[in-house]
Structure 1
């Protein structure tokens, strides 16, 4: 490898990081995917530059344990955010089991289906402001740097985070901090 090639990679990474930091500074409580798109980086890159304590990493190997724990939280907000749709479903996370290459979730909930668990590269517990209000969520990230899906602590009728779920989220996050 030539010297110029070895210098170009870190320079390109520094430029990506600078774009990400600038976009985040412009809208620190905005939609992560929108911030990432503006900076031409991945959502994972935005999560990685959030202030200390705002994004806590957990290993992909803990997928089932984290899912199982969240299935005891009661009704949550489950979001799948792609370029084409932001799908929101409220319900309890049903228990999951592996079969035929999928993590299968079925139960008495509107949330159900099949997840390619092996595509999960990591899990990020996010505690940050979103449009001026505290928001807490668990992001299951794929290898492309995007969220496969997110599970949010629900809000009550007064738009406050449900206290019992918040305590459970904080306990889970603190185990990985």
Structure 2
């Protein structure tokens, strides 16, 4: 029987295969698939870098915040504000156009720097994982109306990735 890496490699011969689709086909998590990729496509850092990373994201301008549920992939363009810490939570202020809400301080166990293709387009994102490597949310480098990556954000993504 083929091992998971071999199955993943075969699926990704289709240049339009996405990590999300492959995870559904193989009935494994997106993390399981990404974890088989090399560091150019997936670099994992400790969740204790959360504040450093989220503060950097505040300088990127409008990014794409994604939350997957089994029935709905929620995509919101917004600016990330540095959260305030209080009572065991990171509190995002929720000002107009900014991310609002409360994230448990110990929720983020790992953070993945991801560079993969979706529908043939290369994209860059940060995936924030819990202790079981389930995705809590994702932040993507934004695109313009012609589907071109924001070059400034792309440069900031690689600069941040290379810090770790």
Match of 1:42 in 2: 29
Q: TM-score, normalised by structure 2?
A: 0.88
Q: What is the CA distance between 1:125 and its match in structure 2? A: 0.4
Q: Which has the larger radius of gyration?
A: 1
3-state SS in 2 of match to 1:149: strand
Paired residues in the alignment total: 161
Q: TM-score, normalised by structure 1?
A: 0.82
Match of 2:11 in 1: 26
Q: What is the CA distance between 1:39 and its match in structure 2? A: 1.6
Match of 2:148 in 1: 160
Asked if 1:97 corresponds to 2:91, the answer is no
If each structure's helix is expressed as a fraction of its own residues, which one has the higher value? 1
Asked if 1:150 corresponds to 2:135, the answer is no
Q: Describe how 1:95-174 pairs up with structure 2 within 5 A.
A: 95-106=82-93, 107-174=95-162
3-state SS in 1 of match to 2:106: helix
Q: What is the CA distance between 1:92 and its match in structure 2? A: 0.3
Match of 1:87 in 2: 74
What is the aligned-residue RMSD (CA, Å)?
1.9
Moved more, 89-98 or 34-43: 34-43
Over 3 Å counting, the alpha-carbon distance change for 1:31 and 1:100 in structure 2 is farther
Gaps of 5+ in 2: none
1:117 and 1:127 mapped to 2: Cα distance?
Answer: 26
Q: What is the CA distance between 1:24 and its match in structure 2? A: 5.0
Gaps of 5+ in 1: 1-14
